[in-house]
Amino acid sequence: MAERPHAIEAVPVRHPWRWVFAVLIVLIVANAIWSVATEAQLEWSVIGEYLFSEQIFNGIGLTLVLTVIAMTMGVVLGVVLAVMWLSPNPLASGASWFYIWIFRGTPVLVQLLFWGFLGAVYPHVSIGVPFGGPELLGGSSNELITPFMAAIFGLGFNEAAYMAEIVRAGITSVDEGQEEAAAALGMSRMKTMRRIVLPQAMRVIIPPTGNETISMLKTSSLVSVIAVSDLLYQARLIYSRNYNTIELLIVASLWYLFFTSILTIIQYYLERYYNRGSRREPPPSRIEHFVKNFLPRHDRSATEPLPPRSGDSK
Amino acid sequence: MSAAAVTPMVDADRVHKRFGRNEVLRGITLSVAPGEVMCLLGPSGSGKSTFLRCINHLERVDAGELRVDGELVGYREASGKIYEQKESEVARDRSHIGMVFQRFNLFPHKTALGNVIEAPMMVLNLSRTEATDRGRALLDRVGLLDRCDAYPAQLSGGQQQRVAIARALAMEPKLMLFDEPTSALDPELVGDVLAVMRQLVDDGMTMVVVTHEIGFAREAGDQLVFMDEGVVVEQGDPREVIASPQHERTKAFLSKVL
Ligand SMILES: Nc1ncnc2c1ncn2[C@@H]1O[C@H](COP(=O)(O)OP(=O)(O)OP(=O)(O)O)[C@@H](O)[C@H]1O
Ligand SMILES: [Mg+2]
């Protein structure tokens, strides 16, 4: 065998424009920070005082609980609706179509108000024999549908309509050969869906679901219209007393930003998990990507010897 | 043993199938005895895949009778009437028939072993340990035990197809269907897959193989069926048909693939 050739030592491609833009961006950001710090009439102490206050924490707790429950409801119901939509049963797909038509076609704010004021139309709700038969379970709407329940219903049922569309797109993205292979092995439609199709659809479903969750975290602030004391509601309560409006909005925003950042990180790892098997190597993380494409490569690979070529199988 | 005494594994009697106005199968009559290997040949579009898919009811037969191991495919006979099978009955019948696809159709989110043990666990309700034992033995049999933790994307086409064969065998089928199992492979990978199939032939598996591998048909096949435009043009002993085809269309086709 011939001697191993030297590793290639090429001068990497330079990207001068990246540096120009970088300098520009640093200047703009620095100026913004400087102006906020020196000119804006903000009472920084108020932000510090309320950022970790109990009242704000209560609001955060409620916002998170609302987001988690509404998203869970949205995902579960969304999967059911998507499977119904794609089912050969025309009644099921029709019902799914109708649901999505209603809940996606009206503003979520209207839906929240509707659930919030349901008591005005239906003072009494019950489960029992239909068409006025004996009732098994029932009570006054205002007791059963508390503002919290109304918020869950409003956000969750609305989210399900959007999730159904996302899940449907995911399911249809999976190669038909997969269903066929599972069917040929004797797997039922339901097992095929659960074990073969949905896990593959996840790759398409996860990124927009991450967006939906982030969006839900913020959309949940609408529930203050039906007097549910979420993060924004608490912030508004406080500034209605002390008039530090902007400061408290900043407090709320900082927390929204904090949680959306966490969600973004979770989303990244979920995507990577559901991408397994579809690529030969996991994608680089955001930071790796940045380092690779921005900083000039004093290439490690140029100084280190080439790794041995991975032999073909066996 | 007289031919009439054993129930054929596959018994097709004037099978018809149409897609819309396109009649794809126009009266297929053939029979595969247990342990026999039938090779199906024919030009593109002649209905080979469609017929194969009818055997495990991935396509529904419109007219004629198709039986596997004596039972009607897709229907149930009771007191002189014919009922459509329920989904669970169709699934149960399919679980006894293995199928290997041209494009492998491995589950990309599962490892080689995961692919093989999925149906035994989900359909036969084997425990994970039982299924894993069976799966590893099968991967060993197709020469891929060392790759059992690899995902399909990390395997070559030939390796993927061998995993697909192991996956089908894991259900311990009584009949194996192959739809051009080597057509999507680079020439140097075809041999590995054919070797696994030959081994199956030696083990006495009943097989229906759609293939353009004339060598395989000649050496491993018990019967050769040449199809064109939805009908059986010629059938018989592979060596004879290949050496001296009787029909013009068979001659024309063989001269192209040989
Ligand atoms: N699901 C379907 N819907 C409509 N037409 C179909 C369908 N499946 C197959 N056909 C048609 O039936 C005919 C036979 O197809 P088939 O796949 O059985 O041929 P084949 O002999 O397997 O060909 P090839 O060698 O190209 O695989 C073709 O004309 C094809 O277009
Ligand atoms: Mg075909």
Query: Tens digit of pLDDT for each residue in A248-266?
Result: 999 999 999 999 999 999 9
B73 has a pLDDT exceeding 60: yes
Which whole number is the average pLDDT over B110-116?
Answer: 97
How is B81-136 classified by DSSP, letter by letter? Answer: EEEEPPHHHHHHHHHTEEEE-TT----TTS-HHHHHHHHHHHTS---HHHHHHHHH
The pTM for the full model equals: 0.80
Alpha-carbon B119 to chain mean position: 17
pLDDT, position A145: 78
**Would you place residue B4 in the very low, low, confident or very high pLDDT band (cuts 50, 70, 90)?**
low
Mean pLDDT of chain B: 94
Q: CA of A196: which chain B residue's CA is closest?
A: B107
Query: Could you say which ligand is closest to the alpha carbon of residue B48?
Result: 1
Percentage, residues of chain B above pLDDT 90: 93
Q: CA of B171: which chain A residue's CA is closest?
A: A185
Which of B240, B172, B246, B230 lies closest to B17, judged by CA? B230
pLDDT, position A314: 35
Q: Extract the residue ranges of chain A whose pLDDT is less than 50.
A: 299-314
B103 has a pLDDT exceeding 90: yes
pLDDT, position A283: 57
> Which protein residue has the closest C-alpha to ligand 1 atom 29?
B45
Q: Chain A residues within 8 A (CB-CB) of chain B?
A: 175, 177-178, 180-189, 191, 195-196, 199-200, 274, 276-280, 312-314
pLDDT, position B159: 96
CA distance B118 to B171: 10
Query: Could you say which ligand is closest to the alpha carbon of residue B179?
Result: 2
Percentage, residues of chain B above pLDDT 70: 98
pLDDT tens-digit readout, A81-113: 999 999 889 999 999 999 999 999 999 999 999
pLDDT, position A39: 75
CA distance A88 to B243: 49
ipTM: 0.93
Distance from CA of B196 to the nearest CA of A (A): 17
User: Please, what CATH class does the domain formed by A58-123+137-294 belong to?
Assistant: mainly alpha
pLDDT, position A1: 56
Torsion angle of the four alpha carbons A212, A216, A217, A220, in this order, in degrees rounded to the nearest 10: 180
Percentage, residues of chain A above pLDDT 70: 87
Q: Is residue A56 within 8 Å of A251, Cβ to Cβ? A: yes
pLDDT, position A113: 93
Percentage, residues of chain A above pLDDT 90: 55
pLDDT tens-digit readout, A40-90: 777 888 888 889 999 999 999 999 999 999 999 999 999 999 999 998 899
A313 and B87: CB-CB below 8 Å?
no
**Dihedral sign of CA atoms A246, A247, A251, A257 in order:** positive
pLDDT, position A284: 61
